[in-house]
Structure 1
Amino acid sequence: MDKKMTQEEMVKEAVEEAKKAAEEQDAAQEAAGEDTEAVAEETVEEEADSEASEEEALEETAEEGFEKGAKGLFKRKPKKDKKDEQIEELKDKLTRQMAEFDNFRKRTEKEKSAMYEIGAKDIIEKILPVVDNFERGLGAVTEEQKEDSFVAGMEMIYKQIMTTLDSVGVKAIEAVGNEFDPDFHNAVMHVEDEEVGENIVVEEFQKGYTYRDTVVRHSMVKVAN
């Protein structure tokens, strides 16, 4: 009986010890969980503090950069000396006046040249009818009359006029035997002629003239075909 009781007591003690061990294990686990949570909370807080510090540092750096940029942007430029400003103004005025004078000179030369050309053409146009009359008169002179001193004098005057016109650039336009050119010829009559090629000038009624490669008067011509 005593032996059985002893075994029961041993069993009870073992059960109690197992319970105590289980309780101690649970307590240890709870304590470990609390420590883990505390460590996690501390880690989160540290990370948050670190991020806040980094953000503050970035903000401070950005503010410093902005202040420096603003200072550089709004920094006043050193004022120029009044004498230097006056010299620059005078240089600018002189440059503009020289450019205006150069433009005026070129424009004046052009206008003079144009006026000279216009004036020369006007005089030539007035002289040409005189030349026409000389040619008509000399064309009507017979062989016997050519020996007359008066006719010889008229011929000399005519040649002198033509030489003078030629020296200033007045040239007669070639017409008879050449192809009709509307830039130089004025066709006042057409004729059918099988012996002559198409669009060929066969007769000239009035001579045409150019002055420095510009037509002063077109030739009045008859054109074949």
Structure 2
Amino acid sequence: MNINQKNIDSQDEKNPVDLSEMENSCQEEHSLKEVEIFKEKLEKEKDKFLRLFAEFENYKKRIQKERFDLFRSAHKQIIIDLIPILDDFERGLKELKKSKDEALIQGVSLIQEKLIKILKEKGLNKIKIKKGDDFNTDFHEAITQIPATTENLKGKIMEIIESGYILQERVIRHAKVITGK
């Protein structure tokens, strides 16, 4: 043994170092690092889950909206397709009134009223116009113009050719009219 080795050994005897404490402190540091790593991983997975959940909720809302829009569009198209039938009822009733068959007129009128009632429940309303009303491009479509018999009939509706309809506050068919010029 040399002199330096003796000094080290003598110091160890004076200040003995506890190896088990060093090992415990290293293990604690290692455990703390592992806990931090697991916490980070947990936060990442939690964030990933929350994003995925939010994305799924947005998907459900989008699909529900698309389904609603599809039904609304089909509903609207069916009502639009039924409007010519309403026109046919009006024309048919005018012709039936000429024949003066009251039973037939009442039967057709009853069917027409039921159809109108159902369509009103679905949001369809007839545009209310009469001869002499002001021409309004928001609701009317001028088919032609005829000379007005008086000055106050210029720009007014002279004749109603076809009724117009509004479906839930939107014009789906403009009333076709003849205006005075």
Q: TM over 0.5: same fold?
A: yes
Question: Conserved in 1, the CA contact under 8 Å of 2:96 and 2:104?
Answer: no
* 1:111 match: 66
Q: What secondary structure does 2:96 align onto?
A: coil
Matches within 5 A, 1:183-202: 183-193=138-148, 194=150, 196-202=152-158
Amino-acid identity (%): 31
Task: Mark the runs of 5 or more structure 2 residues left unpaired by the alignment.
Answer: 1-31
Choose which of 188, 208, 213 in structure 1 pairs with 2:164: 208
Question: Conserved in 1, the CA contact under 8 Å of 2:125 and 2:166?
Answer: yes
Task: Mark the runs of 5 or more structure 1 residues left unpaired by the alignment.
Answer: 1-77
Name the Cα RMSD after superposition: 2.1
Superposed CA offset, 1:97-147 (max 9, x none): 232123223322332232122211211121111111111010122376252
Question: Conserved in 2, the CA contact under 8 Å of 1:205 and 1:220?
Answer: yes
Matches within 5 A, 1:128-207: 128-142=83-97, 145-147=100-102, 149-176=103-130, 177-193=132-148, 194=150, 196-207=152-163
Highest relative contact order (Cα 8 Å, sep 6+), 1 or 2? 2
Looking at structure 1, the residues matched to 180 and 107 of structure 2 have their Cα atoms a distance apart, in angstroms, of 38
TM-score after normalising by structure 2:
0.71
Cα distance change, pair 91–213 in 1 and its aligned pair in 2 (3 A): same
Looking at structure 1, the residues matched to 59 and 138 of structure 2 have their Cα atoms a distance apart, in angstroms, of 35
Runs (4+) of structure 1 moved beyond 6 Å? none
- Count how many residue pairs are aligned between Structure 1 and Structure 2: 147
Q: Which has the larger radius of gyration?
A: 1
Looking at structure 1, the residues matched to 151 and 167 of structure 2 have their Cα atoms a distance apart, in angstroms, of 34
TM-score after normalising by structure 1:
0.59
Q: What secondary structure does 2:142 align onto?
A: strand
Looking at structure 2, the residues matched to 94 and 104 of structure 1 have their Cα atoms a distance apart, in angstroms, of 15
